[in-house]
C-alpha cells in the first residue's frame, strides 16, 4: 500500500510520519501531551484516510515464552485464551505468536505472549486517528521491528544485542539465531563520554546476567553488541567497553551506514533514532499485532473492499483479454477462409485448364463410379470351391465305403434342388451362398440297405458339424423309407441281384464362408 500513517509512540515523544509511494513524505516529532495530539490531528487533515501503523516503545511491556501441548482448532484457541486471561487480565493490547514445535517426543508448541500493559499511552492517538476516519492496521512493540532492521543493516551474528539509544532510554534487544529472545528499556545515556561508558558497561553486564538467569545466554561466551549510532558518538565508548574485558564485542553502525541501508533522509534521522523503524513499519509484514479486532475491523473491511475491487478489475481484464482474443481469432479465421476460397478458386481454374487437354470420356463420371463400385463388390463376392472340397474330403475320410461319383458346386442363392421353380432374386451380395451337391454310392454293396443308409447318414452328420455349414439335405437314399409311398415292384428279381446303393446330398454353406 503506497499511502500510510506511521507512529512510533514512547513515554516522552511521538514520531509521526506520512509514508507515500515508498518513502517518507513528511516526518515530525510531537510531544506526548494534548498539544502533541492536537498537532497530530492537524497533520492528519492534510492526509487522506490512510491506514495507521503504530509502534510503541515503553517499559510497560511484557514478554512470556510458553511451551503448550499441541492442539488445533477450537481447542487451541480456548487454550490460548485461558493463557492470555491468566497473564494479562484486563489488558486490551495482547498478542500470541506461534514460534514452532519443540521437536521432542511430545512435539509441543512454542508461543510468545506479548502485551502493552499501559493502554493510556496510545489511547489519545487512537482517538485522533478514529476522528479522522482512518483505519488502524496494527499496533506493535518496537522490539518486534528490530528483526527488520537487522536484515536491512546486514547484522548476521548468531548472538547479538542491539543497543538503540532512544529518547525514552536505551533499548537493548537480544536476538539468538535470528529469533527474538528478550528486550528491556533502561535509563537514558549520559552526555559525558566517561559516564556514558560506565553506564553502558553496567547495563550490558546486567543484561548478560538477566539473560543467563533466563537460560538464554552463557556468561563464558562472547556477546556481540551493535550500537545504532545516528550521531557517530559511540565509537570511543564502544572501544573503551571492549578494552574493559567484559566479554563484550561492541561495534557501531554509524550515521552513513544508517542512511545508506534505510529509507530515511538526513533531516529525518536528525529528528530521532526512532525514525529508523518507520521503513520497517511501512514495508514489512510484522508479527505479534497487539491491536484487538475491534480496532482493526475498519482496516480489515477496507482490505476486503480493495481485494474485491482488485478481483473485479482482474476479472474485467480477463474478460477484455478474452474478447480481444476471440476477435483476433475471428479475424484469423476470416482471413483463412478468404485464403481458402482464393486457393479453391485457383485450384478449380487449374483443374478446368488441365481437363481441357483430356480426351473425351466414353461415358459419364457417374457411370464410371458405379462400374468401379460393381467391380469392387464382385471382387469381394468371389469364392473358390477349394474350402468346400476340403470339408467334403474330411467327411468322406471317416467312411471309406462311401464312394463319390460326382460333385456339383455353385455360388448363388440357396434353393431346393428338387424343386422346379426358379430361385428368388438375391437381395444383395449378402444373400449369396456356396451350394454343393454330392452324388455317390456305397462300395461294395451286398444288399444291406440298412448299413448303407447308416453310412450315408454318418457322412451327413459329420458335414453338419462343420462350423461353415448352414444346412444339410439328403435328397436321395438307396432305399426310399418314406412310409407314405405305396409298395410296388417284383421281389423275384431282388433274390438274384443286389443292385446299387446310390445317394445324393445337398450342402449349403453360411453366407460369409
Indicate which CATH number applies to the domain containing 160: 3.30.420.40
Q: How confident is the model at residue 498 (pLDDT cuts 50, 70, 90)?
A: low
Taking the C-alpha atoms of residue 19 and residue 13, their distance in angstroms, rounded to an integer, is 19
The Cβ of residue 290 has, within 10 Å, a number of other Cβ atoms equal to 23
Please give the pLDDT value at position 483. Answer: 63
Please give the pLDDT value at position 341. Answer: 94
CA distances from 292 to 237, 373, 411 (A): 42, 89, 99
Q: Per the domain annotation, does 321 fall within a domain?
A: no
Please give the pLDDT value at position 212. Answer: 79
Specify the CATH number for the domain of residue 472: 3.30.70
Question: At which of 261, 281, 297 does a domain end?
Answer: 261
Question: At which of 224, 246, 261 does a domain end?
Answer: 261
Taking the C-alpha atoms of residue 166 and residue 187, their distance in angstroms, rounded to an integer, is 10
Taking the C-alpha atoms of residue 402 and residue 445, their distance in angstroms, rounded to an integer, is 10
Please give the pLDDT value at position 462. Answer: 93
Taking the C-alpha atoms of residue 87 and residue 114, their distance in angstroms, rounded to an integer, is 9
Cα torsion 224, 230, 231, 236 to 10°: value is: 10
Please give the pLDDT value at position 369. Answer: 87
Residue range 236-247: average pLDDT?
82
Q: Per the domain annotation, does 100 fall within a domain?
A: no
| Mean pLDDT lowest among 87-101, 312-326, 411-425 | 411-425
User: Between vectors from CA 365 to CA 362 and to CA 368, what angle results, nearest 5°?
Assistant: 75
| Mean pLDDT lowest among 156-160, 187-191, 289-293, 296-300 | 187-191
492 has a pLDDT exceeding 50: no
The secondary structure element, H or E, covering residue 507 is: strand 502-509
Q: How many CA atoms lie within 13 A of 462 on its CB side?
A: 16
The strand pair at 52-57 and 3-10 is best described as parallel
Look at residue 142 and give its three-state secondary structure: helix
Q: Per the domain annotation, does 351 fall within a domain?
A: no
Report the domain count for the chain: 2
Q: Which residues contact 499 (CB under 8 A, 6 or more apart)?
A: 445, 447, 478
Q: Which cell is 362 given?
A: 466414353
Mean pLDDT of the chain: 86
Q: Which cell is 449 given?
A: 440297405
Look at residue 392 and give its three-state secondary structure: helix
Higher pLDDT, 273 or 209: 273
Q: How confident is the model at residue 458 (pLDDT cuts 50, 70, 90)?
A: very high
Please give the pLDDT value at position 193. Answer: 80
Q: Contact 204/162 with Cβ under 8 angstroms? A: no
Q: Where are the beta strands (DSSP E) in 422-488?
A: 433-442, 469-476
Q: Per the domain annotation, does 453 fall within a domain?
A: yes
145: left (phi over 0), alpha (psi -120 to 50) or beta: alpha
Q: Per the domain annotation, does 174 fall within a domain?
A: yes
Domain region containing 462: 386-482+496-509
252 has a pLDDT exceeding 70: yes
Question: At which of 219, 236, 261 does a domain end?
Answer: 261
Closest CA to 158 of 182, 178, 181: 178
Q: Which cell is 293 given?
A: 479486532
Closest CA to 124 of 39, 47, 6: 39
- pLDDT tens for 89-118 read 888 999 999 988 887 777 888 999 999 999
The Cβ of residue 255 has, within 10 Å, a number of other Cβ atoms equal to 17
Taking the C-alpha atoms of residue 114 and residue 289, their distance in angstroms, rounded to an integer, is 9
Q: In the structure, how many helices (H) and strands (E) does the chain have? A: 14, 17
Q: Contact 426/393 with Cβ under 8 angstroms? A: no
Q: Which residues contact 204 (CB under 8 A, 6 or more apart)?
A: 161, 163, 172, 223, 225, 241, 246, 248
Q: How confident is the model at residue 383 (pLDDT cuts 50, 70, 90)?
A: confident
> b/e per residue, 192-211, with b = 16+ CB within 10 A?
eeeebbbbbbebbbebbeeb
Please give the pLDDT value at position 491. Answer: 45
Q: Per the domain annotation, does 242 fall within a domain?
A: yes
Instruction: List, in sequence order, every residue forming a beta bridge with 14; answer none if it has no partner.
Output: 9, 30
Residue range 316-338: average pLDDT?
93
Taking the C-alpha atoms of residue 275 and residue 4, their distance in angstroms, rounded to an integer, is 15
Q: Per the domain annotation, does 4 fall within a domain?
A: no
Amino acid at each position: 500500500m503506497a499511502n500510510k500513517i506511521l507512529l512510533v509512540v514512547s513515554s516522552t515523544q511521538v514520531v509521526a510520519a506520512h509514508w507515500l509511494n515508498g518513502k517518507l513524505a513528511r516526518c515530525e516529532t510531537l510531544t506526548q501531551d494534548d498539544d502533541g495530539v492536537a498537532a497530530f490531528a492537524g497533520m492528519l487533515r492534510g492526509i487522506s484516510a490512510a491506514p495507521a501503523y503504530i509502534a510503541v516503545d515503553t517499559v510497560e511491556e511484557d514478554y512470556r515464552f510458553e511451551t503448550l501441548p499441541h492442539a488445533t482448532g477450537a481447542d487451541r484457541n480456548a487454550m490460548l485464551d485461558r493463557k492470555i486471561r491468566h497473564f494479562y487480565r484486563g489488558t486490551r493490547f495482547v498478542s500470541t505468536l506461534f514460534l514452532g514445535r519443540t521437536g521432542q517426543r511430545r512435539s509441543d508448541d512454542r508461543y510468545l505472549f506479548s502485551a502493552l500493559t499501559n493502554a493510556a499511552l496510545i489511547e489519545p492517538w487512537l482517538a485522533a486517528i478514529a476522528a479522522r476516519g482512518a483505519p488502524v492496521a496494527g499496533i506493535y512493540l518496537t522490539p518486534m521491528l528490530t528483526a527488520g532492521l537487522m536484515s536491512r543493516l546486514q547484522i548476521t551474528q548468531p548472538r547479538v544485542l542491539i543497543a538503540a539509544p532512544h529518547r525514552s532510554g536505551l533499548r537493548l534487544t537480544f536476538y539468538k539465531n535470528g529469533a527474538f529472545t528478550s528486550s528491556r528499556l533502561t535509563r537514558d545515556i549520559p552526555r559525558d563520554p566517561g559516564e556514558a561508558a560506565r553506564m553502558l558497561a553496567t547495563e550490558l553486564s546486567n543484561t548478560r546476567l538477566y539473560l543467563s538467569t533466563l537460560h538464554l545466554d552463557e556468561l563464558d561466551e562472547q556477546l556481540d553488541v551493535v550500537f545504532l549510532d545516528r550521531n557517530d558518538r559511540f565509537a570511543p565508548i564502544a572501544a573503551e567497553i571492549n578494552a574493559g574485558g567484559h566479554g563484550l564485542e561492541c561495534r557501531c553502525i554509524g550515521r552513513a551506514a544508517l542512511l545508506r541501508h534505510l529509507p530515511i533522509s538526513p533531516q529525518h534521522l536528525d529528528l530521532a533514532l526512532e525514525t529508523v523503524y518507520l521503513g520497517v513499519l511501512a514495508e514489512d509484514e510484522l508479527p505479534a499485532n497487539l491491536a484487538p479486532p475491534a480496532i482493526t475491523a475498519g482496516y480489515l473491511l477496507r482490505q476486503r473492499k480493495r481485494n474485491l475491487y482488485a478481483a473485479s478489475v482482474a476479472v474485467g481484464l480477463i474478460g477484455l483479454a478474452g474478447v480481444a482474443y476471440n476477435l483476433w481469432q475471428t479475424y484469423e479465421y476470416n482471413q483463412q477462409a478468404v485464403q481458402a476460397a482464393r486457393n479453391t478458386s485457383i485450384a478449380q481454374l487449374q483443374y478446368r485448364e488441365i481437363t481441357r487437354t483430356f480426351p473425351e470420356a466414353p461415358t459419364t463420371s457417374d457411370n464410371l463410379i458405379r462400374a468401379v463400385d460393381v467391380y469392387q463388390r464382385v471382387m469381394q463376392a468371389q469364392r473358390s470351391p477349394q474350402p468346400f472340397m476340403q470339408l467334403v474330403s474330411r467327411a468322406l475320410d471317416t467312411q471309406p465305403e462311401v464312394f463319390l461319383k460326382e460333385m456339383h458346386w455353385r455360388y448363388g442363392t440357396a434353393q431346393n434342388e428338387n424343386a422346379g421353380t426358379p430361385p428368388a432374386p438375391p437381395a444383395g451380395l449378402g444373400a449369396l451362398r456356396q451350394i454343393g451337391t454330392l452324388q455317390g454310392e456305397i462300395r461294395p454293396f451286398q444288399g444291406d440297405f440298412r448299413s448303407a443308409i447308416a453310412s450315408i447318414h454318418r457322412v451327413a452328420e459329420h458335414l453338419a458339424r462343420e462350423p461353415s455349414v448352414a444346412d444339410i439335405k439328403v435328397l436321395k437314399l438307396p432305399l426310399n423309407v418314406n412310409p407314405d409311398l405305396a409298395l410296388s415292384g417284383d421281389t423275384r428279381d431282388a433274390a438274384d441281384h443286389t443292385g446299387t446303393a446310390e445317394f445324393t446330398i445337398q450342402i449349403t454353406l453360411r453366407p460369409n464362408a
